[in-house]
Structure 1
Amino acid sequence: MPETSKPTLIVNARLVNEGREFEGDLRIENGRIAQIGTGLSAREGDHVVDAAGRRLLPGMIDDQVHFREPGMEYKADMATESAAAVAGGLTSFMDMPNTNPPTLDSAALEDKYKRATGRARANFGFYMGASNDNIEAIRALDPLRAPGIKVFMGASTGNMLVDNPETLDAIFRDAPTPIITHCEDTPMIDAELAKYKAKYGDDIPAEFHADIRSRQACKKSTLLALELARRNGSRLHVLHISTADELELFERGPLIRADGSRKQITAETCIHFLRFDRADYATLGHLIKCNPSIKEASDREALIAAIGDDVIDVLATDHAPHTLEEKMRPYTGAPSGLPLVQYALLAALELVHEGRLTNAQVVQKVSHAPAQLFDVAQRGYLREGYMADLVLIDDAPLTVRREDVLSKCGWSPFEGRTFHSRIGATWVNGVLAWDGSQLVGGPNGQRLEFARV
């Protein structure tokens, strides 16, 4: 059963919220933020936390994870990956439908919610997937039951590559929720892969992944998604932008405009595209093999700038763990994806230490924007009455060690890197879930609710 929130008073914090940083105190009662102010007094029974000037942020809402359940629990599951998430200050996640079986109807969707209930330490939402033959299930979806509908317009597992033009048009026309897309052009990828296999066989050097999963394949597919969204008036969110080339396709400016309207088409990038580039294949090899691929240093720099310029709206993880044994296989047998939830927020805050972003910009991209984009009810902000999903940041160095990784796969691409910050504490629904050194209590995640009419 979920744990009961204890009255907690966090004092002397530096709160980061809605474009501001300010000194203050925050009171938690009944799982919610009861009061924000200065000079708040402790009441009988309060647990008092002295933040001593440390940053207090709303917890990260990750709009893109692959927790592998059902069907691939040997490398990840709801319990292990949500534990890694709260250790990283990530308090809510939205999980992808390419599981086994895939999440292509309401029954499969509800099965995942049941699996997470009582086992997930972070709050949870699950996408409905699209295929070439489940348009009726998509039309019948209650928009309050899922954050969105995921369309793989690039290669995927099972029956989830949607490449039928009539089906795509129907999905974009009739989807009752935001559409999220993985955009890569499969025929272009297959043609490049064939060229490299002819030269190297199955053992293609890892660095050529950036050429096989090319920028041209990304841009071609993204252009198609944008054309479909504009023709049908769809709300479209394009995931894991990896190239500078695609940035010119998206609107610059805040997700919520001054007149209160919201961008129709939005863009996300992921933390690995901001921390790695082609040069890192030499040392990390298939550990950083992912789809879309990590590309050039110039792409990395352009993506960081695009976050600051509000071209990129959301920063996520695309957490996709595989075992080390799988990752050590030759190129054609080594799966794509890497575990990221435990260190993603710290990696994002490195951009603050480097002077590239502000604390407020990071919070906008990892907390406020996902809540805005997916209509997440009463989360993603430090606001009175909202759920107390919070993370306290310690500005003390942390070196990533394999033995500290909580994801079931047991490794991190950040091993050996030292961050300037560490997670001092994480609260989920007002309950302490991570105390700065270990998990606390039991699973306390709740099903995400969506404030949609």
Structure 2
Amino acid sequence: MSTLLIKNGTIVNEGTIFKADIFIENEIISKIASEINIVADKMIDASGLHIFPGVIDDQVHFREPGLTHKGCIASESKAAIAGGVTSFIEQPNTVPNAVTQEILEEKYQIAAKTSYANYSFMMGGTNDNLEEVLKTNPRNVAGIKLFLGSSTGNMLVDNEETLEKIFSSTKMLIAVHCEDEQTIRENLEKAKEQYGDDIPVTQHPVIRSAAACYKSSSKAIELAKKTGARLHVFHISTGLETELFQNDIPLEEKLITAEVCVHHLYFSDADYTTKGNFIKWNPAVKAATDREKIWEALLDDRIDVIATDHAPHTLEEKSQKYLQAPSGGPLVQHSLITMLEFAKNGKISLEKVAQKMMHNPAILFKIEKRGFIKEGFFADLALVDLNSDAWTVTKENVLYQCGWSPFEGKEFTTKVQTTVLNGKVVMENGVLNEERFGQRLLFNR
């Protein structure tokens, strides 16, 4: 048995902030009290630090298998640990797409050997793999992922009959990327008529418009209501979409939930002039007015979760012209500190950060014994310094395999100091442990 005692920390958990000690035996939190005086194998003095549950990022693309020139499970999960992200749910648009049980299980086998963080992978739906989708084990797979806008390979699900069959046939959580493909194609043709092949990146939110997002997400929600499906809408990017969601029932009772990503809370279309393709995501970063409406919906609980949609590409790929440059960017190392900076500036409370990044992902995915600082739960913790010396994101201090960050040049005064994963100290005072203690997530369903 290994034991760990964390003394003098300020815990942020379940809507409260309080000082307490935490005693951990093996992987589990065994005691939380105002003062614990037990001799442990290791002791951490957390004086001056805030202790959060480890972040659960419900949407990442770690690029393995098939796209490992951009990133891999090892590299990106290590960056996640450095950012206080202890659990991730990865998406199926790798190569080959995870659209059979065999390919899905191969990803789990890779993670079992290489992941620094806890992991789960989503099963991908297509227009013709319903039989495979229905074989998915709800106990050890996070959910079903459907792309209702273009994606890698054969993952665009645009057959309405197939969609209704999937929604009607499974009680598993169905997560969706919502952008209407026809609307995007029409907008792209207009842009080509105006600019030829040299479309400026400032046209990205015009091409992948608010209307394209709203048309797709409203249709998905209508279908979920018709079939009783459990729907989770990824990366809300428009103010209009926020009106589709409820805040008048507890999260545990919601059948339709929503996520926002850090980049849609931080950037606006004004940033394309300086950041260019480095903030080119799908769905697009849109107007500042959209950003403010999203913030309102996040704070009043119409939007339930904050995630990243972490999706690395190489500098070479991102440096191409708009039409050739792929969408997506790396974020897991900087998601928690970005939200903590917002908290320091009064935009969101620390308790709300814990709710949206740790508690709610655990609740809506029904993750077993994670997402909270509770006795009997796994000891996944992020110890953060809210008043660190100022430091700046540079290429030299990012851990992403792609070697860049959309936050380069940004100064932070918060820092993830130490990360605990399954009771093991995997980063201490900013220094990462090379041992791997990640586990496959399990779900109470």
- For the criterion TM > 0.5, the same-fold answer is yes
Amino acid corresponding to residue 283 of structure 2 in structure 1: P
- CA distance in structure 1 between the partners assigned to 2:281 and 2:288 by the alignment: 16
1:42 is paired with a residue whose SS is coil
Whether the 8 Å CA contact 2:3–2:23 is kept in 1: the answer is: yes
- CA distance in structure 2 between the partners assigned to 1:345 and 1:201 by the alignment: 40
Deviations 1:166-192 (A, max 9, x none): 000001001241000000000000111
Q: CA deviation at 1:415?
A: 0.6
Q: CA deviation at 1:405?
A: 0.8
**Alignment correspondent of 1:265:** 256
**Alignment correspondent of 1:368:** 359
Report matched runs for 1:17-32 at 5 Å: 17-32=13-28
Instruction: Determine what percentage of the aligned residue pairs are the same residue.
Output: 49
Q: Which residue of 135, 139, 143 corresponds with 1:144? A: 139
**Alignment correspondent of 2:213:** 218
Report matched runs for 1:119-158 at 5 Å: 119-158=114-153
Amino acid corresponding to residue 311 of structure 1 in structure 2: R
**Alignment correspondent of 2:299:** 308
- CA distance in structure 2 between the partners assigned to 1:413 and 1:119 by the alignment: 26
- CA distance in structure 2 between the partners assigned to 1:11 and 1:307 by the alignment: 33
Q: Which residue of 195, 209, 227 corresponds with 1:232? A: 227
Report matched runs for 1:267-346 at 5 Å: 267-346=258-337
Q: Which residue of 46, 53, 71 corresponds with 2:41? A: 46
Whether the 8 Å CA contact 1:376–1:451 is kept in 2: the answer is: yes
Whether the 8 Å CA contact 2:171–2:229 is kept in 1: the answer is: no
**Alignment correspondent of 2:59:** 64
- CA distance in structure 2 between the partners assigned to 1:419 and 1:254 by the alignment: 36
Amino acid corresponding to residue 206 of structure 2 in structure 1: D
**Number of equivalences:** 443
Q: Which residue of 416, 419, 425 corresponds with 1:423? A: 416
- CA distance in structure 2 between the partners assigned to 1:365 and 1:106 by the alignment: 30
**Alignment correspondent of 2:432:** 439
Amino acid corresponding to residue 316 of structure 2 in structure 1: E
Q: CA deviation at 1:434?
A: 1.3
1:325 is paired with a residue whose SS is helix
Q: CA deviation at 1:129?
A: 0.3
Q: CA deviation at 1:437?
A: 2.2
Q: 1:392 and 2:368 equivalent? A: no
- TM-score scaled to structure 2, two decimals? 0.98
Q: CA deviation at 1:253?
A: 4.1
Amino acid corresponding to residue 75 of structure 2 in structure 1: T
Q: CA deviation at 1:60?
A: 0.3
Q: CA deviation at 1:118?
A: 2.3
Whether the 8 Å CA contact 2:171–2:230 is kept in 1: the answer is: no
Q: Which residue of 192, 195, 199 corresponds with 1:200? A: 195
Deviations 1:228-285 (A, max 9, x none): 10000011000000010101110024643xxxx5211001000000110011100000
Q: 1:117 and 2:91 equivalent? A: no
1:332 is paired with a residue whose SS is coil
Amino acid corresponding to residue 173 of structure 1 in structure 2: S
**Alignment correspondent of 2:405:** 412
2:114 is paired with a residue whose SS is coil
Deviations 1:88-144 (A, max 9, x none): 000000000001000011111110000001210000000000000001111222211
Provide closer, same or farther for how the CA distance between residues 380 and 166 of structure 1 changes in structure 2, counting only shifts above 3 A.
Answer: same
Whether the 8 Å CA contact 2:48–2:385 is kept in 1: the answer is: no
Q: Which residue of 4, 9, 33 corresponds with 2:5? A: 9
Whether the 8 Å CA contact 1:61–1:92 is kept in 2: the answer is: yes
Q: 1:348 and 2:344 equivalent? A: no
- CA distance in structure 2 between the partners assigned to 1:254 and 1:277 by the alignment: 31
Amino acid corresponding to residue 22 of structure 1 in structure 2: F
Whether the 8 Å CA contact 1:139–1:176 is kept in 2: the answer is: no
Whether the 8 Å CA contact 1:391–1:427 is kept in 2: the answer is: yes
Amino acid corresponding to residue 435 of structure 1 in structure 2: E
- CA distance in structure 1 between the partners assigned to 2:310 and 2:394 by the alignment: 18
- CA distance in structure 2 between the partners assigned to 1:337 and 1:47 by the alignment: 40
1:333 is paired with a residue whose SS is coil
> Where in structure 2 are there 5+ consecutive unaligned residues?
none
Identify which range, 369-378 or 247-256, moves more after superposition. Answer: 247-256
Whether the 8 Å CA contact 1:197–1:204 is kept in 2: the answer is: yes
- CA distance in structure 2 between the partners assigned to 1:398 and 1:122 by the alignment: 25
> Where in structure 1 are there 5+ consecutive unaligned residues?
none
- CA distance in structure 2 between the partners assigned to 1:153 and 1:55 by the alignment: 40
Deviations 1:346-392 (A, max 9, x none): 01111211111111100000000000011100000000011100000
- CA distance in structure 2 between the partners assigned to 1:436 and 1:250 by the alignment: 40
- CA distance in structure 2 between the partners assigned to 1:198 and 1:333 by the alignment: 17
Amino acid corresponding to residue 18 of structure 1 in structure 2: E
1:124 is paired with a residue whose SS is strand
**Alignment correspondent of 1:33:** 29
Q: Which residue of 46, 71, 75 corresponds with 2:70? A: 75
Aligned Cα root-mean-square deviation (Å)? 1.1
